[in-house]
Amino acid sequence: MDSRWRTVPRRCQQRALPGGGSRIAVDDVPDRLDRRACARVELEKRGAPRRVPRLECSGTGHRSHLSAGHAEGVSKPEAEARFADELQLFLRPRHRGGPVRFGCDGVSSLGHVVESLGVPLTEVGSLTVNGRAAGPGFRPAAGDVVDVGAVRRPQRLPSARFILDVHLGTLARRLRLAGLDVAYANDLDDDALIELANAGHRVLLTQDRGLLKRRKLWLGAYPRGARPDDQFRDVLDRFAPPLAPWTRCPACNGLLSPAGKADVEALLQPGTLRSYDEFSRCASCGRVYWRGAHASRLDAIVDSAVRTVSAAGSRRRP
């Protein structure tokens, strides 16, 4: 008897077929693994090729088939990636703090490898392979050593205009308070955000890494931090945009202009009219602003923005 029959579970049986021949009967086999073993033997008996085993590439998490001529268990050639400290938060915990090994298939670009490890290219400032500058389209080979650097700060922008996703409403209001042009709406989906960002040449600020990896996106950035204070400071430190405090409506982003007391008195409570004399009004939504009880807290936010941008600007290269 063919030695392959030794792998067949005892509960599998050969049954005669009309006109000669036989088949493996698995109807009485309750275990799914037993059924698979019986079916595999039947396929091999008919001369069908065995399934090619699969290996998982180290680091990238992508799977690929071994070629038919390779021995089972042979791993793919590997390269090494080293990430700047500022990019460690994007890596999986097991990849942080040291070089990351990844498989080379001769097809995947360097940009694809970096993003598959968790780092959006919007956060990458430089790529080098074996000490030489490389672009995202470079295809790494076995033994290559890749260094991934963070974006240099402050990052230059054609214009300091932003759009924020639905989870960053507080950050949007604070940036507007500092006088920045910030588009925000809490009902925009991902495609709409990208379309508006591209059409208006706005930087998309989001903590959605998948959104930052979208190829259609013109320019994006990941605000560091879980608290609005930290996100606010990070955005200002990264871009060092020119500020114009108290010139934009925190609610709608419209421009503010001085308003006479007589012009807005119909919109205010009697107590407000008695206590305050200087007002501003939004040209877009009509909201009226004055220096009320929260003025000291808002002053502190604006003062911190000015200090952060001043410090970041001093690091700007000529």
Q: Is the dihedral of CA 171, 172, 177, 180 positive or negative?
A: positive
- The answer, yes or no, to whether residue 182 has pLDDT greater than 80, is yes
Q: What is the mean predicted confidence (pLDDT) over 277-295?
A: 96
72-131: pLDDT as tens digits: 344 789 999 999 999 999 999 999 999 999 999 999 999 999 999 999 999 999 999 999
Residue 156 maps to a domain: no
Q: What is the mean predicted confidence (pLDDT) over 167-181?
A: 98
Question: How would you label 260-290 residue by residue, b for 16+ Cβ within 10 Å and e otherwise?
Answer: eeeebeeeeeeeeeeeeeebbbbeeeeebbb
Residues 164 and 194 sit within 8 Å (Cβ to Cβ): no
Residue 250 maps to a domain: yes
Predicted local distance difference test score (pLDDT) of residue 315: 86
Ranking 10-19, 88-97, 238-247, 305-314 by mean pLDDT, the lowest is: 10-19
Residues 203, 302 within the same domain: yes
Residues 196, 220 within the same domain: yes
For the entire predicted model, the pTM comes to 0.76
Ranking 40-54, 270-284, 303-317 by mean pLDDT, the lowest is: 40-54
CA-based angle 255:297:280, to the nearest 5? 25
Q: What is the mean predicted confidence (pLDDT) over 286-307?
A: 96
HSE, CB side, 13 Å, CA atoms: give it for residue 229: 6
Give the pair of three-digit tokens for residue 262: 């007589």
Instruction: Using CA atoms of 211, 213, 215, 219 in order, give the dihedral in degrees to the nearest 10.
Output: 80
Predicted local distance difference test score (pLDDT) of residue 192: 97
The one-character DSSP state at 116 is H
Host domain of residue 239: 161-313
Predicted local distance difference test score (pLDDT) of residue 318: 59
Residues 201, 230 within the same domain: yes
Residue 124 maps to a domain: yes
213-267: pLDDT as tens digits: 999 999 999 999 999 999 999 999 999 999 999 999 999 999 999 999 999 999 9
Residues 124 and 148 sit within 8 Å (Cβ to Cβ): yes
Number of domains in the chain: 3
Residues contacting 165, CB < 8 A, separation 6+: 188, 193, 204, 205, 206, 207, 208, 211
Residues 50 and 41 sit within 8 Å (Cβ to Cβ): no
Residues 126 and 146 sit within 8 Å (Cβ to Cβ): no
Predicted local distance difference test score (pLDDT) of residue 76: 81
Domain termination residue (choose one: 150, 175, 192): 150
- Amino acid sitting at position 58: S
Q: What are the beta bridge partners of residue 80?
A: 101, 145
Could you count the other beta carbons within 10 Å of the beta carbon of residue 138? 18
Residue 54 maps to a domain: no
Give dist(CA 129, CA 221) in Å, integer.
24
58-75: pLDDT as tens digits: 444 433 333 333 333 447
Residue 62 maps to a domain: no
Predicted local distance difference test score (pLDDT) of residue 197: 98
Q: What is the mean predicted confidence (pLDDT) over 273-287?
A: 97
Residue 130 maps to a domain: yes
Residues 144, 182 within the same domain: no
Q: What are the beta bridge partners of residue 100?
A: 81
Residues 169, 309 within the same domain: yes
The model's confidence at residue 11, banded by pLDDT at 50, 70 and 90, is: very low
The model's confidence at residue 316, banded by pLDDT at 50, 70 and 90, is: confident
Instruction: Using CA atoms of 167, 173, 174, 180 in order, give the dihedral in degrees to the nearest 10.
Output: 110
Residues 138, 174 within the same domain: no
Question: How would you label 202-232 residue by residue, b for 16+ Cβ within 10 Å and e otherwise?
Answer: bbbbbebbebbbbeebebbbbbbeeebeebb
The one-character DSSP state at 8 is S
- Pick the residue with more confidence: 172 or 47? 172
Ranking 36-40, 140-144, 177-181, 287-291 by mean pLDDT, the lowest is: 36-40
